[in-house]
């Protein structure tokens, strides 16, 4: 199947609109199953608009451990094509507005959906392909190292239909018999599943003269708050750089009023060195209220935190914006 749409067919269709479902493998894309796309093509005078959504699971090779891992994709397409050679003065592809391009068909009477999807998938691959923050075995933090020992008691909680069921063990003093007694009672509490996602960031900022690369964020989100494991490294560290960064930590900030969101239900664990060779650190289980995510974006600054001093955002310091949803 060629997966091409004739411009004549588009012009003669109802409302000059064609809906197209793609479900196939794409040569040059290593995927686990087929790539699926639901597209709508619409003729707009001298232009053709293609909009839709693309989903699938790719098989990528991790840049750190070289092992293959599954990488889900789910992104939208918004493309414009010029039917005639309207772009002679500008080249084959020209940006109309930020993030939107128009492609000259150069007299072609078909739109190649197969090629469009191939290019779109390639453009949506992460710059650095990493299977997760636990990559490379002991060089990165293991799952058990990220757990809080205070939460061990909750591991056996059963959650059914949004309700958490557990046994509450209590002890009480019987004054009449002058003895301690223990008992248990069942408790049911409303519960929400924690939504977990790993976000590739790989953005670099300069802090105290040191280049710091924010690599990954593992986000845990529920209806109460968010928790984050923040992985970052010093780029080409020099003597003295680690000392400069000793009291520096990543904090979510609100760039509208330069405030820090309220802390969540747990206290953060200080940053720990994961890999001395690469100067890679983790800030594990950083917990804040859900207001830390503003319009689907998490804004982070690296700020000094000293004992007894309140952390204050710095309008002049660099900010890393991370798209969460």
**What digits encode the pLDDT tens for the residues 117-126?**
998 898 888 8
Give domain status of residue 67, yes or no: yes
Q: Phi-psi category of 211—alpha, beta or left, where left has phi over 0 and alpha has psi -120 to 50?
A: beta
Q: How many helices (H) and strands (E) does the chain have?
A: 3, 20
Which of the two residues, 205 and 274, has the higher pLDDT score?
205
Would residue 36 count as lying in a domain?
yes
- Distance, CA of 314 to CA of 115 (rounded, Å): 46
Average pLDDT over residues 30-54: 92
Burial of 146 (0-12, 13-18, 19+ CB in 10 A): middle
Q: Is residue 165 pLDDT above 70, yes or no?
A: yes
71-75, 156-160, 222-226: least confidently modelled range: 156-160
> What is the distance between the alpha carbons of residues 85 and 105, in angstroms, rounded to a whole number?
7
Q: How far apart are CA 44 and CA 80, in angstroms?
A: 10
Residue 252 lies in a domain: yes
Dihedral sign of CA atoms 210, 211, 216, 219 in order: positive
Scan for tokens 């309207």, then name that residue.
Answer: 86
CA 65 to chain centre: 20
Q: Is the pLDDT of residue 313 over 50?
A: yes
Residue 243 DSSP code:
H
Same domain, 49 and 97: yes
CATH number of the domain that residue 204 is part of:
2.60.40
Of the three residues 107, 123, 139, the one that is the final residue of a domain is 123
- What's the distance, CA 210 to chain centroid? 25
How do 35-44 and 47-61 pair as beta strands?
A: antiparallel
> 140 pLDDT exceeds 90?
no
Measured between alpha carbons, how far is 175 from 302 in angstroms, rounded to an integer?
A: 55
Same domain, 315 and 235: yes
DSSP character at residue 263: B
Structural domain contains residue 136: no
Asked if 99 and 179 sit in the same domain, the reply is no
Domain residue limits at 275 = 195-323
| Pairwise CA distance, residues 264 & 268, whole Å | 9
Task: Using only the alpha carbons of the chain, give its radius of gyration.
Answer: 26
Same domain, 248 and 170: no
Provide the pLDDT for residue 47. 85
- Looking at residue 85, its pLDDT comes to 55
Sign of CA dihedral 239, 243, 246, 251: negative
In a domain, 129, yes or no: no
Res 159 pLDDT > 80 = no
**Of 88, 123, 158, which residue is a domain's last?**
123
Can you read off the two tokens belonging to residue 72?
Answer: 């889900």
pLDDT for the residue 168: 72
Does residue 105 have a pLDDT over 70? yes
Which pLDDT does position 101 carry in this prediction? Answer: 58
Question: Which of 233, 171, 236, 224 lies closest to 202 in space, CA to CA?
Answer: 233
Based on the fold, state whether residues 217 and 117 are members of the same structural domain. no
Do residues 210 and 317 both lie within one domain? yes
Do 295 and 230 have their domain in common? yes
More confident residue, 9 or 64: 9
Is 130 domain-assigned? no
Closest Cα to residue 128, out of 61, 49, 225? 61
Return d(Cα 136, Cα 65) in angstroms, integer: 5
Structure tokens at 293: 């995510």
Question: What tens digit of pLDDT does each residue of 190-243 get?
Answer: 777 778 888 888 899 999 999 999 998 988 887 778 888 898 999 989 999 988
167 and 219, same domain (yes or no):
no
Q: Are residues 280 and 211 in the same domain?
A: yes
pLDDT averaged over the chain? 80
Domain shared by 314 and 199, yes or no? yes
Q: Highest mean pLDDT range out of 89-103, 228-242, 257-271?
A: 228-242
| Structural tokens at position 80 | 């414009």
Q: Does 236 fall in a domain?
A: yes
Average pLDDT over residues 135-153: 50
User: Do the domain assignments include residue 135?
Assistant: no
Highest mean pLDDT among 26-35, 182-191, 216-225: 26-35
pLDDT value, residue 210: 94
In total, how many domains does the chain have?
3
> 41 and 5 in contact (C-beta within 8 Å)?
yes
At 119, list the tokens.
């290019």
Residue where one domain finishes, among candidates 135, 166, 190: 190
Would you state the pLDDT for residue 92? Answer: 43
- The reported pLDDT for the residue numbered 157 is 67
Is there a single domain that holds both residue 311 and residue 269? yes
Does 152 score more than 90 pLDDT?
Answer: no
Same domain, 223 and 316: yes
């Amino acid at each position: 199947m060629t997966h091409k749409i004739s411009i004549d067919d588009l012009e003669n269709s109802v409302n000059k609109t064609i809906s197209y479902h793609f479900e196939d493998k794409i040569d040059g894309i290593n995927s686990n199953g087929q790539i699926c796309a639901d597209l709508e093509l619409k003729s707009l005078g001298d232009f053709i608009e293609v909009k839709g959504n693309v989903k699938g699971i790719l098989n990528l090779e991790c840049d750190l451990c070289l092992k293959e891992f599954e990488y889900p994709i789910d992104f939208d397409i918004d493309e414009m094509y010029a039917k005639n050679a309207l772009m002679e003065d500008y080249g084959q592809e020209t940006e109309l507005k930020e993030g939107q391009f128009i492609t000259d068909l150069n007299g072609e009477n078909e739109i190649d959906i197969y090629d469009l999807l191939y290019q779109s998938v390639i453009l949506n691959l992460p710059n650095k392909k990493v299977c997760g923050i636990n990559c490379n075995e002991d060089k990165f933090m293991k799952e058990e190292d990220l757990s809080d020992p205070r939460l061990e008691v909750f591991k056996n909680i059963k959650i059914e239909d949004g309700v958490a069921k557990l046994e509450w063990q209590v002890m009480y003093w019987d004054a009449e018999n002058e003895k301690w007694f223990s008992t248990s009672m069942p408790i049911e509490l409303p519960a929400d599943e924690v939504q977990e996602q790993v976000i590739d960031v790989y953005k670099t900022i300069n802090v105290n003269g040191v280049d710091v690369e924010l690599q990954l964020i593992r986000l845990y989100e529920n209806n109460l708050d968010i928790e984050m494991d923040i992985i970052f490294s010093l780029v080409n560290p020099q003597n003295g750089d680690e000392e400069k960064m000793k009291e520096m930590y990543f904090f979510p900030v609100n760039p509208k009023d330069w405030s820090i969101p309220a802390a969540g239900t747990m206290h953060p664990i200080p940053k720990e060195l994961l890999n001395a060779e690469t100067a890679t650190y983790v800030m594990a289980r950083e917990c804040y209220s859900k207001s830390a995510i503003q319009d689907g974006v998490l804004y982070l600054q690296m700020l000094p935190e000293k004992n007894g001093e309140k952390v204050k955002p710095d309008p002049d310091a660099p900010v890393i914006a991370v798209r969460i949803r």
